[in-house]
Amino acid sequence: MSDLNAITVFLAVADLRSFRGAAERLGVTRSAVSQAIRRLESDLGLALLQRTTRSVNLTEAGQAFHARVAPAMTEIDVALAHARDREQTPRGLLRLAVSTIAESFLSGPLLAGFAERYPDVALEVTVTDQEFDITAQGYDAGVRLGEVIEKDMIAIPASPDQRQVAVAAPSYLAAHGAPEHPRDLAAHRCIGWRPVPGGAPYRWEFAEDGRAFDVEVEPEVTTNDIWLMVRLARAGAGITFGMEETFAPYIGRGELATVLERYCPAFPGFFLYYPNRRHLAPKLRALVDDVRRWQKTATG
């Protein structure tokens, strides 16, 4: 079966009536053009061109062949151009798995801006704290804290530096006082977070003199719902612990107050992560570019 390259060469020669001109158009040598034509004529068992030292013309068989293949090759060119355009235009379903505490990613302008810029991309965002293989589960990317991302993933910053803080309602602190050191939490009512049912409650993480340590509190209430923790803390049920940006609106309004500030340093925040692949789908490439632009703006 004749290959499409040889047919492309034939069409160039037929259009230009010149082997030299066809070679220049296609960016190959005259010898390569001659070999392609000989191979095509041999495959078909037909003489397609009449060649003299001064001219190149189509034979009757060449004219009939040209009349059939030229429109077909035009259709192929259109199909290829359409495929390339489709490959370059962000579209389709983009599935993301995002940590519940990635507040700056979930509630900021980044996702809204992306959705507006790329209306042909449908976003499916699963908010979850379960750790799993995003590739095996059919997700395009995820957003988590950097410390829990697999090493074989590509990760780019998707938030400013973060900080975890301990907070309580002013009414609770007025009634029970504020802990001076994380070890004092044992004497306080605490509201804890359990990422998955049946798992151990999250150990509250602090640092002192540059040394990280954690405290195993015994919560009076444990939940996997961050917003229940916030509501209970605002109601005076006890001290809770989580991302500062989650509590920021309530701290700003005086509904919650921070404690143990000196033991709560900043750390690298959330990262958008995705499989290490040579070619990214345009929809994911667009999100990666948006996140990089946003991070550059956010860090000044």
pLDDT, tens only, 91-132: 899 999 998 888 778 877 888 889 999 999 999 999 888 888
> From residue 264, how far is each of 89, 180, 214, 256, 258 by CA, in Å?
44, 13, 11, 16, 10
Residue 200 pLDDT more than 90? no
Check if the beta carbon of residue 269 is closer than 8 Å to that of residue 145.
Answer: yes
Task: With a cut of 90, say whether residue 177 has pLDDT above it.
Answer: yes
Q: Which residue has the higher pLDDT, 138 or 167?
A: 167
Which residues have CB under 8 Å from 61's CB, separation 6+? 46, 47, 48
pLDDT of residue 1: 43
How many angstroms from the chain centroid is the CA of residue 16?
Answer: 48
pTM of this prediction?
A: 0.62
Segments in the chain forming alpha helices (H):
4-16, 19-26, 30-44, 60-88, 103-107, 109-117, 170-176, 226-234, 244-252, 282-298
Choose between 146 and 115: higher pLDDT. 115
Q: CB 106: neighbour CB atoms within 10 A?
A: 17
Q: What CA–CA distances, in Å, run from 54 to 10, 21, 43, 66, 291?
A: 18, 13, 26, 22, 62
Least confident of 20-24, 129-133, 146-150, 233-237: 146-150
Q: How many helices (H) and strands (E) does the chain have?
A: 10, 15
Q: What are phi and psi of 255, to 5 degrees?
A: -80, -25
The residue ranges of DSSP E strands in 118-203, in sequence order, are 121-127, 141-145, 153-157, 162-168, 190-193
Q: Is the separation of the CB atoms in 26 and 12 below 8 Å? A: yes
Q: If you count them, how many residues does the chain have? A: 300
Structure tokens belonging to residue 161: 């530096």
CB-neighbour burial class of residue 270 (10 A; exposed 0-12, middle 13-18, buried 19+): buried
Structure tokens at 282: 């345009």
Half-sphere exposure of 290 (CA within 13 A, CB side): 20
